[in-house]
Structure 1
Amino acid sequence: MQNVSKRTILWIVPIIIIAVFWYFYGPQKEITDNEYISYIKETSVTDTGEPTLEKAFSNYCEEGKWVFFRTQKNHNVVEFKGACPVDGDVNDVNLQFVVEDNQKGYKVGALLLDGVQQSEEDRDQFLNMVVSK
């Protein structure tokens, strides 16, 4: 058996630790279909009940998908990702909805246009524009 030097061990141990962290905490597959996504898709922003958010976004945006993830603080977040017209230009849009555990309600979260977070006023104006079309 060969004599393993300390230098070799000092290289191998950190690589193993990094590999273990990557395996457990690295990028994970997107969840695109679950009860929280269904809840948000079937929800309406207006008092009349029409249109649902799913119909409103599919009518307003060229392409899009719904993704679910849970934050480190255990919040359930449903995010719409798509290409939507804003001020005459088509932008990459990410709009988040924070859903309560029992699905009795939600709050509108952050809005990102081309990766830049927008103000609450801009977010609400965008959502009204999507729903009213």
Structure 2
Amino acid sequence: MAIAQQAAAQLAHLPTFRRMSSCIEARHPDAFSHEDINTAELFAAQAAQALRLALRIAQLKDTSEDLNAALAHRKTIDMALGAVMAQNRCSRDAAFIILKRAANAREMKLRDVAASVIASVCADGLSTRFDA
């Protein structure tokens, strides 16, 4: 019984799956043999494991998407830092402070300020040799 509850608890946390339940009923006591009960418990254990794997895959997919977005924003910020460094003849740290202050003053995200810096420097936007 505890295994079925674990499976249901795991399923409740899955964002992309609907809740489902399984109920095995009998009209009279002792309708199921020990072998039937063992088979049902084995199935519940396997279902719980499959649900845990599905949850882990969903979490890894979300993490992967977040990391890819962070890398894309990092590239934009780094290119903007280079533009600020060239315009102001300053270090990377000083350029970062300039961008950060501009973002705070405009109440914008740093990546958005960086994108506007890049747009102001190059009408077509900047690209790197790493762009596919």
Task: Say yes or no: TM over 0.5.
Answer: no
Q: Which has the larger radius of gyration?
A: 2
Question: What TM-score do you get using the length of structure 2 for normalisation?
Answer: 0.31
Question: What TM-score do you get using the length of structure 1 for normalisation?
Answer: 0.31
- With a CA cutoff of 8 Å and minimum separation of 6, indicate the structure with the bigger relative contact order: 2
